[in-house]
Structure 1
């Protein structure tokens, strides 16, 4: 029989599930800044070392949507402990890896272990908190999911510089052990999970693994391989599309699907996952642009570029807590979501006005605004998406929801990188048309550059030196305009999402008798 948890227990459970989730999400970005150190230490090429990132993302993407099914087959507590153990042990083995090949193998295992932690945490939190406090639960979950990728590059850079890249992985050991001990004592399976015995959906599992694996590689490698000019990308794209289409057809026909896609019949859930995908598309698309802008054009170090992202994390942390409290007091999550999206669109619009003279505080301010909007986006959206989902489907729905959130981020990074590169070429061509000896402005600046070179670099004070300086400035200006264009596109996409918020159904409180985990 189920019994109600004492009020203190839900917070212990929240701590139990958020510890590993935070470190797992952080591991998707914390290794990025360590890649040059790993490359030098293991004597690897640039294309080879990027598989340290890709291998983790692929295995992570495959596990996330089937977490609900795995919980039903093995039991939620048992699967959670297994995931924690695999993630922790593989983290240690990653840190001790003697070669790149060994590191990639254990990164795959680390992704398999960590992939289930996000949807498991969300499902457990939704069941541990009463329906009236789901906003609070999603605020707790959001603090880990949103803050972790922002803090990842800063933490990774500090650990790598202070100790070595291997400690980026070793740091997971104490957290993993603590989380496993807490899960052993405080997490228990709901009755409905213990009673379910499902047959293995072999074809669904195979098609999902192949389709998502190929898709994640395409998104991660597409820009480097020049997208569809590469046979490698074309072949993987065909494999991904065919596999995922067949997967949908199979899952809609089998009696016990590995991922129950019928959950999309729920209008609020379908709308919520769409908005979550697009929202993280724009969020991660902008997060990847800011460090590039600061480091490549403004001369910031990786550490200072990371500090610019900090105010956004603080804004999210504060506003998520506020959003949870407001929802508990009866504020309509649809209204909060619309406000959050509008604020996020405004912050991206501000970023589209960055220039080559922008100072630290002028860059940090839009990030703070974006963080505030993110707090009002993630919490009400998560609560509104799940509000009419039966508790028996929470695990499955959470897996699908988190998969689309992660894919949204991957698509956003690929989109921003591609648009940035293409728009930089367009602007470079346009600007170069005006750099001619017959342009009075060019003549005036050429003379100033000539005088500066004569006083500072006499050996370069010739026509070639002048043209070299002008060309570098054209590249900088073209890149800056490309950043502006990309931020503007992300702002438009975010603003359009505001018009989708009225689609959500109003909560049916009677349909949510979710009890605490016993």
Structure 2
């Protein structure tokens, strides 16, 4: 096996003193793979109303198009370190890329919700391996003094993916067809396979490790995280524990987490080392990662939905608004390595979280007349806060534990971010129904049908519209619209409160080591 091959298998192995062209090709391939995988998380958001209509899915069912991807990705990310040891880095990435592209074609050809969910889940399972392994490539193929550049590339692609997704998906939907939001992955997949073949050496597979795998933990991850997300997603619609389905899924979730914890004690090498969460710094990093994931994926879902429902924006127009948060990322990109070296992590993360909280707070004053312009200030702030918090926390995740556990640490952190996204989408589906019902009832209570003013207003409206029934329908639509606006304000308020709640955890962070370099991680 080549030295590079050995390095890629061993967390903490020293990378070469000077990166050659092949190394940079590998780094670019890793970043491109991570970008493709994160892009597809949100590429359906702005096109979701169109997709739902064409495949016959309701609004609630449509959230599964986004959630199924995240659920599958959450499960595979912590497994990436183990899969890399078994298959070798290049083989794993080649398999993941080819299958990701194939499942993208399944999504693009979907004619019903079941086919779409299968394709999206397949995308998540395979795309999940492309995100964390990008960090391994950076750590093992670049020298320490160049690793902050690789970190910046990875951080920005991970942030820009969810931001560019709605824009690209919206443009393709409006200009060609939503199917091409998935067909787009075919040329990208071919390019990625070529780069991986040129930039990474082949390593011999260790299939014998399959027999020594933590199968309890693997089964526990799938059952626990999958079951939890389904319970959160379907709970409101099924009336929670009044439904036998929710009770059964809750039991599956508990069983899954039980198996995962059992694997921590019974397996020589657990699939995911939950003990790392007991470390004060790493546990804080993981929890803040969950909240950042909620903000990144939650807002990239909420904003297109608001603009479509309230401002009658099409997919492309909504995507342009979401893209605004990517502008600060592009501006800060050249300075990110310097920030990592010279700015105290506690200051950077605290500033990032504070800016994120303010950005969400600004969006709590939306009205029925709000358009994309109402989101300009908040989106620019959101992009700035996200890159400050995410890039530093990503570095802290692998710097806060021993180098031999760096792969596990990075896997947990990336999974935490996606768990946050999954929780956000599930919570939005639940809270949107609850708060919309509540606000509708409150508006109805203030609308006294026996009031002289109300009667005069309805009479004038009926005269203008030519029909009392038309007047009543218009009033009902107006009430529903206002209730929905108030619901969106509530959701942004909850995101702001969630960010503020984890801000004190910044005090548990320790300064990054001088001359910081990445540990090999997932």
Give the structure-1-normalised TM-score: 0.87
Aligned to 1:216: 229
CA 1:438 to 1:488, structure 2 compared with 1: closer, same or farther past 3 Å?
A: same
Aligned match of 1:322 in 335, 342, 355?
A: 335
1:100-115 equivalent positions in 2, closer than 5 A:
104-115=117-128
Q: How does 1:370-385 map to 2 (within 5 A)?
A: 370-385=382-397
Structure 1 residues 142 and 512: CA distance shift in structure 2, 3 A: closer
Q: 2:79 aligns with which of 66, 72, 97?
A: 66
Partner of residue 429, structure 2: 417
Partner in structure 2 of residue 451 of structure 1: 460
Name the residue aligned to 1:496.
Answer: 501
Match of 1:363 in 2: 375
Distance 1:292 1:38 in 2: 13
Long gaps (5+) in structure 2: 5-15
Among 244, 262, 267, the residue aligned to 2:275: 262
Pick one of 234, 244, 268 that aligns with 2:247: 234
State TM-score, norm by structure 2: 0.86
1:45 and 1:472 mapped to 2: Cα distance? 19
CA displacement at 1:102 relative to structure 2:
5.5
Q: Aligned pair 1:474/2:474, yes or no? A: no
* Deviation of the 1:251 alpha carbon: 2.0
Give the count of matched residue pairs: 507
Structure 1 pair 189/33, CA: closer, same or farther in 2 (3 Å)? same
**Could you tell me which residue of structure 2 aligns to residue 246 of structure 1?**
259
Q: Is the 8 A contact 1:431 1:478 kept in 2?
A: yes
CA contact (8 A) 2:81 2:407 kept: yes
Cα 1:425/1:40, change in 2 over 3 Å: closer
**Whole-Å separation in 1 of the counterparts to 2:105 and 2:371:** 41
Post-superposition CA distance 1:253-311 (Å, at most 9, x none): 31122222233344322211111002222333333222232222233223222222121
* Residue 179, structure 1, aligned to residue 184, structure 2: no
CA deviation after TM superposition for structure 1 residue 513, in Å: 8.1
Contact map agreement 1:318 1:375 (CA 8 A) in 2: no
User: Which residue pairs with 1:313 in the alignment?
Assistant: 326
- Where structure 1 has 5 or more consecutive residues not aligned to the other structure, the ranges are none
Q: Does the CA contact (< 8 Å) of 1:219 and 1:410 recur in 2?
A: no
Other-structure match for 1:12: 25
Which of residues 491, 505, 508 in structure 1 aligns to 2:510? Answer: 505
Cross-structure match for 2:309? 296
- Which stretch has the larger CA shift, 425-434 or 88-97? 88-97
Structure-2 change in CA distance of 1:375 and 1:7 (3 Å): farther
Tell me by how many angstroms 1:400 deviates.
1.6
Give distance in 1, aligned partners of 2:347 and 2:137: 26
Partner of 2:343: 331
* Residue 356 of structure 2 is aligned to residue 351 of structure 1: no
In 2, Cα distance between the equivalents of 1:41 and 1:486?
28
Which piece of structure 1 moves more, 18-27 or 39-48?
Answer: 39-48
> Which whole-Å deviations, capped at 9, do the CAs of 1:293-350 have from their partners, x for residues lacking one?
222223322322222212112223323543333223x111221110011111111111
Q: Go from structure 1 to structure 2 and tell me whether the alpha carbon gap of 1:320 and 1:280 turns closer, same or farther (over 3 Å shift).
A: farther
Note if contact 1:276-1:404 (Cα within 8 Å) is conserved in structure 2: yes
- Counterpart in 1 of 2:408? 396
Q: Say if 1:381 and 1:105 are closer, same or farther in 2 by CA, change over 3 A.
A: closer
Q: Distance in 1 between matches of 2:230 and 2:319?
A: 26
Contact 1:28 1:149 in 2 (8 A): yes
Report the 3-state secondary structure (helix = DSSP H, G, I; strand = E; otherwise coil) of the residue aligned with 2:401: coil
Equivalent residue number for residue 159 of structure 1:
172
Q: For the structure 1 residues 434 and 59, does the alpha-carbon distance in structure 2 shift closer, same or farther, using more than 3 Å as the test?
A: closer
- Aligned match for 1:283, one of 286, 296, 313: 296
Q: Matched residues in 1 for 2:442 and 2:113: separation?
A: 43
Match of 2:44 among 31, 35, 41: 31
| Distance in 2 between residues matched to 1:158 and 1:203, nearest whole Å | 44
Q: Tell me which moved more, 384-393 or 38-47.
A: 38-47
> What is the aligned-residue RMSD (CA, Å)?
3.3
Instruction: Say if 1:418 and 1:162 are closer, same or farther in 2 by CA, change over 3 A.
Output: same
Structure 1 equivalent of residue 442 of structure 2:
430
Structure 1 residues 65 and 38, CA gap change in structure 2 (3 angstroms): same
Shift of 1:15: 1.4
Q: Write the mapping of 1:113-152 to structure 2, written as runs, cut at 5 A.
A: 113-131=126-144, 135-152=148-165
**For each residue in 1:147-198, what CA deviation from the matched residue of structure 2 results, as whole angstroms up to 9, or x when unmatched?**
222222232232234333432322111111111111122124899x989957
Distance of aligned partners of 1:480 and 1:24 in 2 relative to their CA distance in 1, 3 Å threshold: same
* Contact preservation (8 Å) 2:63, 2:425: no
- Measured in 2, the distance between the counterparts of 1:482 and 1:122 equals 39
Cα distance, 1:64 vs structure 2 = 1.3
CA deviation string 1:433-492 (max 9, x = no partner): 2211455xxx4465345334423x21x1x3x54444333333222222222222222212
- 2-structure distance, mates of 1:473, 1:98: 34
